[in-house]
Chains A and B, each alone.
Chain A
Amino acid sequence: MSISVMLSKLGEGMITSVLIFTLTLLFSLPLGLIVALARMSKNIILRNFTRIYISIMRGTPLMLQLLVVYFGPYYLFGISISSGYRFWAVILAFSINYAAYFAEIYRGGIESMPLGQYEAARVLGYSESQTFMKIILPQVIKRIIPAITNEVITLIKDTSLAFSIAVTEMFTVAKAIASSEKTMVSYVAAGIFYYVFNFVVAVVMESIEKKLDYYR
């Protein structure tokens, strides 16, 4: 297999990896905020339900969760799985897993906000939702960016777990080429890809952080 064929195959896997990454963030970042709010809710049932959910998501391997989400519908409910579900099972499993981590980051950020911000907004007549959206959340985002960056970088590397249910992302392709061609080159290429991807993400996150540096 020539290098160019190998790279084009890897390239297809790369697109899948990027897609998993992007869609997971797209769903888990807002979902995490909702989970965080539920976790801090006054409703004890909702609060405890979320607490258990977060505990399970953090307490079991993502790969196991992925297998459960993928095979669960068949073994639990006898629903036959179409091959198109494979990709979406990854997105679903990743999103609910990352939402749990993001939720705890949001919660930490929200709870670190001084009470005076809420009180000032209240006296000025802001409603609860206005206070949250205009006053609290923008400041929380600034505070949690470094922790979010950590998770986002972990996510890039975690996309390789999609391999476990045979979604043909980057790592799956690299492994297939390595065993059929008896070569390490595909692994090296994959390694470079993950590193560059991470590097770009880190630069982007850093620039967001810089952008929010206009106040303290």
Chain B
Amino acid sequence: MEIFSIKNAKKSFENNLEVLQDISISVSKGEVAAIIGPSGSGKSTLLRCATLLETMDSGELIYSGEKAAWNNEEGKTVYASPEKLRQIKSKFGLVFQNFNLFPHYSVLKNITDAPISIQKRKKEEVMQEAQVLLEKMGLSDKAYAYPFQLSGGQQQRVSIARALAMNPDILFFDEPTSALDPELTGEILRVIRSLAAEHMTMVIVTHEIEFARNVADRIIFIAGGVIVEEGNAESLISDPQNDRTKAFLNRLQR
């Protein structure tokens, strides 16, 4: 079953730079897709378009069969009503590079506020789920701490718990380890790996090639706003076909 798809996404910024030139990706239930590529390749923009933080100029966006955006007759993107988009927003979660936790909320409130006040779910139920999530993230003792009291790795784990508390069908990660000290990346990668083992559907933009190879089912290599190569994670890394993919992987391994 297709959980997420973006079709023929095109996006340029005011300076006429075409960041996305006709990109299509679809992800099925339980699949883990990693997006790799040089900086400025458009992978972050793609993720921002997918999560409705950025609008596409042209292209379609579909979550579990529900259209968030489609093309009109002139081939320009039209978005669904705000009401509909709000509904669709609860189908996905996004983990930011810089965590973006709410500093004035405790860890517990960061996780539970949106499910309670936005999704209008029962408080007791949400609280219970939050405890389970915190335990899973190894943060049971931090429920009442504030973000500034946590290490970067702990903050990122809270932000993953915050995204999971919304019960999304799919989770997007925007370079989840890039803002962390090298010794802290391991704990985040472990969390993502355990989510993959539970068949959480995920799309991960990352620079951690070895991690992508281990955890992803599929790797998508993007450069210059197009998908240069995509395929089975293991084979794309060990046996890339395209010259640009080879050059990129070579640069990383050096």
Contacts and interface: CB of A to CB of B under 8 A. Distances in A.
Residue among B53, B92, B101, B166 with the highest chain A CB neighbour number at 10 A: B53
A215 B51 contact: no
A47 interface: no
Interface stretch (B113-121, B127-135, B199-207): B113-121
B146 A214 contact: yes
A142 B104 contact: yes
A137 B59 CA distance: 35
A125 B53 contact: no
Contacts of A119: 53, 96, 100
A122 interface: yes
A121 B101 CA distance: 9
A135 interface: yes
B49 to A, nearest CB: 13
A138 interface: yes
A139 B53 contact: no
B138 to A, nearest CB: 22
The dominant DSSP class at the A interface is helix
A135 to B, nearest CB: 6
A116 B96 contact: yes
Contacts of B147: 215
A216 B148 contact: yes
Contact of A138 (B93, B104, B118): B104
B162 to A, nearest CB: 7
A123 interface: yes
Contacts of B117: 130, 134
B94 interface: yes
B102 interface: yes
Interface string A115-136: 0110111111111001000110
Contact of A116 (B51, B92, B98, B118): B98
A23 B149 CA distance: 39
Contacts of A214: 146
A117 B113 contact: no
Contacts of A121: 102
A137 B139 CA distance: 28
A32 to B, nearest CB: 21
Interface in B43-102: 51-53, 86, 89-90, 92-94, 96, 98, 100-102
Interface string B133-165: 000000000000011100000000000001000
Contacts of B96: 116, 119-120
Interface string A141-155: 010000000000000
A215 B103 contact: yes
B146 A125 contact: no
A215 B104 contact: yes
B53 A123 contact: yes
A5 to B, nearest CB: 52
Contacts of A114: 100
A138 B92 CA distance: 27
A214 B17 CA distance: 44
B100 A125 contact: no
Interface of A: 114, 116-117, 119-127, 130, 134-135, 138-139, 142, 214-216
6 contacts: A124-B114, A125-B86, A130-B117, A130-B118, A214-B146, A216-B146
